[in-house]
Amino acid sequence: MILLSFLAAALINKESNRTVLVWGSYGELAPGDVIAQSDLIAIRVMLPENSRRYLSVKADVIGTVVLRKLGAHELIPADSLSNAPYGIDTRATPIEVLKNDLPMDLSRGSIVDIYALPNEVSQSAGRGDLTHLVASEISVVSVDQKSKDLGGSVGVVISLPISQVVLVLGEVPLHRIVLVKHG
């Protein structure tokens, strides 16, 4: 009788535990990022009615392109990735930023907003520029750690939508560029 009770309890528990493993983002991902294995974590969740909206760990998502911002440890919706090699037309764009104008822990995959502050060039030209937001929710592709350790300026490569490349590059010589990291 006791054995039968344990078996019944185990069967009920098994039937009620309908969890699935789906992909989640390890860190923040921005539109245009290409998914690598290091960007993914498997998350066990119970999604009885919404499981089709999310990507099972059986799905091969390496190399797909992120279409919308994904937060750290967020479940990855199926419609947030594209198999197209250029789901969003982006360019890896190098910029130079003063060492004190970026977070110390800035690294590949960080999401940043880019601000332009007046500098000596814009002030001596008589421009009345104010501090302004140049681009938001931009993904960092790489940070030149060697230049970061030396001081002065740091080379940072960012992933920009093609429509913003000229705008951002036009701001660099005329302004002091500051990167503000999300989260």
- Per-residue pLDDT, 3: 64
* pLDDT at residue 53, rounded to an integer: 86
Predicted TM-score (pTM) of this structure:
0.61
The pLDDT, as a whole number, for residue 9 is: 62
Half-sphere exposure at residue 139, Cβ-oriented, CA atoms within 13 angstroms: 27
The arithmetic mean of pLDDT across residues 85-100, rounded, is 83
The pLDDT score that the predictor gives to residue 152 is 82
Tens of pLDDT, residue by residue over 65-76, are 888 889 999 999
3 state DSSP class of 99: helix
Identify which of 1-10, 47-56, 157-166 has the greatest average pLDDT.
Answer: 157-166
β-strands 81-82, 90-98 pairing: unpaired
Q: How far apart are CA 23 and CA 54, in angstroms?
A: 8
Residue 42 CA from chain centroid, whole number: 17
Tell which wins on pLDDT, 68 or 179: 179
How far is it, in rounded angstroms, from Cα 111 to Cα 30? 7
Share of the chain above pLDDT 70, in %: 82
The pair of structure tokens assigned to 29 is 């991902």
**Whose CA is closest to 32, among 165, 133, 148?**
165
- 5-19, 150-164, 165-179: the lowest-pLDDT one: 5-19
Can you give the pLDDT at residue 52?
Answer: 79
Tell me the pLDDT of the chain averaged across its residues: 84
Which residue type sits at 62? I
- Choosing among 3.90.1210.10, 2.30.30.60, 3.40.190.10, 3.40.30.10, the CATH entry for 2-82 is 3.90.1210.10
pLDDT at residue 179, rounded to an integer: 97
H or E element that contains 44: strand 40-45
Residues 122-144 pLDDT 10s: 666 666 678 999 999 898 989 99
Query: Residue 144 in 3-state DSSP?
Result: coil
Q: Which of 133, 130, 120 is nearest to 168 (CA)?
A: 133
Q: What is the distance between the alpha carbons of residues 139 and 148, in angstroms, rounded to a whole number?
A: 18
Instruction: Find out whether 147 and 176 touch, Cβ atoms under 8 Å.
Output: no
pLDDT tens figures, 17-44: 678 899 999 998 888 888 999 999 999 9
> Nearest-CA neighbor of 31 among 174, 177, 161, 158?
161
User: Who contacts 129 (Cβ-Cβ below 8 Å, separation ≥6)?
Assistant: 116, 118, 122, 174, 175
